[in-house]
């Protein structure tokens, strides 16, 4: 059996997205080598580190940002601006909308006791990495390809396409229209994924006000949704499903690592077949 290092695991994640540079929301927190068996989970806390040990794993791969990567999480939100501009939103509006989201998340994460899990991993001598945006970028491309390969006339066509992806088919949640109407024409649609987090109210509004008819997020907060509804924003908001989406990216990472000879233990992921 082959053995790899935490750096090689991170590189496998970047390769998945076709990226060279590690984004601010991904990091090798505790370095390690001679890794033969790794645990993969969406959210990793101290309990998962202990679990990894009892399952005989040499390393833990988390998806969501932890440690310093969670403090720096907001630094990847610039992709929201890129996507909005790509879809016709004026740059100034895109920057303003993203600034609101960035401030909200930066303020929240500033208060975090961000070192707890990484500290635990160090005490346990358990190599730990988290790979967030690269896995989400792979997921974004896979979903985009699936939508583009099907009909896109109505919002319901998009729902049908995404629902056919195994991880979404296996999910207990369904692809939902949270605002607007599934019988409406999809019109100009934008898949807003791999942007760190969903764009909430301010970014959906910017899209809707500049010619985008259907915005697709992985998930949305109820407070943001309520604002969209109260303002009767013109447009459709589709949410795909958080666990299904994250599973899609992490399953691909798992396959890649297994291809390198690593054994993986996936915790809580939806199956890819
Ligand atoms: Zn996620």
How confident is the model over 160-204, as pLDDT tens digits? 999 999 999 999 999 999 999 999 999 999 999 999 999 999 999
Question: Residues with Cβ within 5 Å of ion ligand 1?
Answer: 246
- Residue 269 and residue 62: Cα distance in Å, rounded? 12
Cα-to-centroid distance, 187 and ligand 1 (Å): 27
Cα-to-centroid distance, 118 and ligand 1 (Å): 19
Cα-to-centroid distance, 135 and ligand 1 (Å): 10
Check residue 133 and give its pLDDT. 97
As its CATH architecture, domain 77-105+135-245 has 3-Layer(aba) Sandwich (3.40)
Considering only CA atoms, which of 138, 175, 172 is closest in space to residue 159? Answer: 175
Within this chain, domains 6-74+107-131+246-263 and 77-105+135-245 share the same CATH topology = yes
The answer regarding whether domain 6-74+107-131+246-263 maps to CATH 3.40.1390.10 reads no
Residue 94, C-beta contacts closer than 8 angstroms, at least 6 positions apart: 80, 81, 84, 85, 206
Instruction: Assess whether pLDDT exceeds 80 at residue 95.
Output: yes
Query: 114-168 pLDDT, tens per residue?
Result: 999 999 999 999 999 999 999 999 999 999 999 999 999 999 999 999 999 999 9
DSSP classification of residue 232 = T
% of the chain exceeding 70 in pLDDT: 100
Mean pLDDT of 8-35: 97
- Sketch the domain layout of the chain as residue ranges: 6-74+107-131+246-263, 77-105+135-245
Cα-to-centroid distance, 1 and ligand 1 (Å): 31
Instruction: Assess whether pLDDT exceeds 70 at residue 1.
Output: no
């Amino acid at each position: 059996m082959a053995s790899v290092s935490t750096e090689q695991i991170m590189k496998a994640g970047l390769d998945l997205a076709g990226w060279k540079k590690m984004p601010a929301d991904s990091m090798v927190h505790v370095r390690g080598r001679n890794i033969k068996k790794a645990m993969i989970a969406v959210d990793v806390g101290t309990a998962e580190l202990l679990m990894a040990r009892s399952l005989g794993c040499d390393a833990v791969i988390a998806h969501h940002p932890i440690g310093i990567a969670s403090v720096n999480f907001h630094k990847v939100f610039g992709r929201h601006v890129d996507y909005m501009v790509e879809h016709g939103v004026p740059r100034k509006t895109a920057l303003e909308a993203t600034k609101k989201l960035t401030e909200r998340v930066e303020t929240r994460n500033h208060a975090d006791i961000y070192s707890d899990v990484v500290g635990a991993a160090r005490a346990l001598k358990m190599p730990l990495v988290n790979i967030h945006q690269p896995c989400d970028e792979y997921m974004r491309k896979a979903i985009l390809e699936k939508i583009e390969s099907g009909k896109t006339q109505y919002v319901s066509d998009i729902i049908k396409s995404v629902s056919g992806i195994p991880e979404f088919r296996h999910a207990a949640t369904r692809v939902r229209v949270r605002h607007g109407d599934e019988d409406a024409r999809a019109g100009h649609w934008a898949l807003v994924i791999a942007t760190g987090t969903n764009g909430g109210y301010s970014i959906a509004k910017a899209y809707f006000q500049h010619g985008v008819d259907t915005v697709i997020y992985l998930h949305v907060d109820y407070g943001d949704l309520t604002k969209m509804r109260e303002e009767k924003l013109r447009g459709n908001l589709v949410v795909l499903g958080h666990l299904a989406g994250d599973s899609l990216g992490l399953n691909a990472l798992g396959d890649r690592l297994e291809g390198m000879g690593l054994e993986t233990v996936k915790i809580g992921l939806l199956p890819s077949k």
